[in-house]
Amino acid sequence: MGRRYNDYNAYLKGLFGERVQKIIVDTGLGCPNRDGTIGRGGCIYCNSKGSGSGLWQRGFSITEQIEVGRKAMIRRYKAKKFQAYFQSYTNTYTSCEHMKTMYDEALAAQGMVGIAVGTRPDCVDPDKIAVLASYVKNYLVWVEYGLQSVHDQTLARINRGHDFACFARATQMTREAGINVCAHIILGLPGEDKAMMLETARKIGDLGIDGVKIHLLYVVKGTPLETMWKAGQYQCLGQQEYVDIVCDFLALLPGNVIVQRITGDPHPDELADPRWALDRTATFKMIHETLEKRDLWQGKALGKPTKGWSFTGVEK
């Protein structure tokens, strides 16, 4: 059985004719929502590591990090092509000159075919977009913007530090420069019901994004969200509840959107709740089984044909 959504691995294989593996890069950059530029403390679900590996603080250069990752991907997948993923914190929160130095160093590694840059929509401007666009001719370039929700009241509640309009402006500027945009979305945010989460799917689809990462909101130790959870002010989604929302979310996404992730990936030592989030394989399997059972596929709810991909049994 093929997948009922447009997944990232198949997209990369279609572009390059073989498997392409992401290698996570930690550059040691900060976040304006933690250092006082925009706010302090960061988003309520984020700990002080900011999804970082900690390798930069341990003295590993970008080149060294990539070489470690490259060897691991060769051993595990026999991969020959790679994409550098600047994941932790905000990877455009620096000067244009430093951005170029970072990306040049990563792309100099053997087998590197592109970069994916995680950042905030309030940390780009025309000059920084121009730096990223300078690589488009020769490399695959994605910018991954943290959005989490299209609802401004939710963004204020989670101390995000920007509104939906900021994301929309950044998306337009980035796509006009020929750069692929991936939106990060979190399901289960405090105060949101299913209807609000599905409205996020509709609105980001209307913006013409190129990709999406769908995350589960899980409680990380040492965060304001953990304090809320311990006080009984927040309850995580149940596993089947999350699965059902993901399936409905996918059905509302245009078929050309590349789905890069459909669940979270918490670190076992940092996770407080829900414990089921540690079993990604089970959640992944449940999503696929639920799509089959409910006969759903990406874009079905839009009532439009889905072009450019197919799966066993149904072709749109």
Does the structure show a pLDDT above 80 at 193?
yes
What percent of the chain is modeled with pLDDT above 90? 88
Mean of the pLDDT values across residues 297-311? Answer: 71
Lowest mean pLDDT across 33-37, 56-60, 194-198, 240-244: 56-60
Among 282, 316, 214, residue whose Cα is nearest residue 2:
316
What percent of the chain is modeled with pLDDT above 70? 93
The tokens describing 48, both together, are 């002080």
Identify the band that residue 39 occupies on the pLDDT scale cut at 50, 70 and 90: very high
Provide the pLDDT for residue 210: 98
**CB-based burial of residue 130 (10 Å sphere; 0-12 exposed, 13-18 middle, 19+ buried)?**
exposed
- Measured at the CA of 213, the angle between CA 299 and CA 73, to 5 degrees, comes to 120
Which of the two residues, 62 and 314, has the higher pLDDT score? Answer: 62
Mean of the pLDDT values across residues 230-237? Answer: 98
Provide the pLDDT for residue 52: 62
Identify the band that residue 307 occupies on the pLDDT scale cut at 50, 70 and 90: very low
Identify the band that residue 22 occupies on the pLDDT scale cut at 50, 70 and 90: very high
Query: At residue 102, what are phi and psi to the nearest 5 degrees?
Result: -65, -50
Tens of pLDDT, residues 133-165: 999 999 999 999 999 999 999 999 999 999 999
Tens of pLDDT, residues 70-89: 999 999 999 999 999 999 88
pTM of structure:
0.94
Q: How many CB atoms lie within 10 A of CB 56?
A: 19
Identify the band that residue 316 occupies on the pLDDT scale cut at 50, 70 and 90: very low
Residue 113 three-state SS: strand
Among 4, 2, 1, residue whose Cα is nearest residue 250:
4
Q: Give CA separation, 258 vs 45, 103, 209, 222, 301, in Å.
A: 25, 23, 9, 33, 17
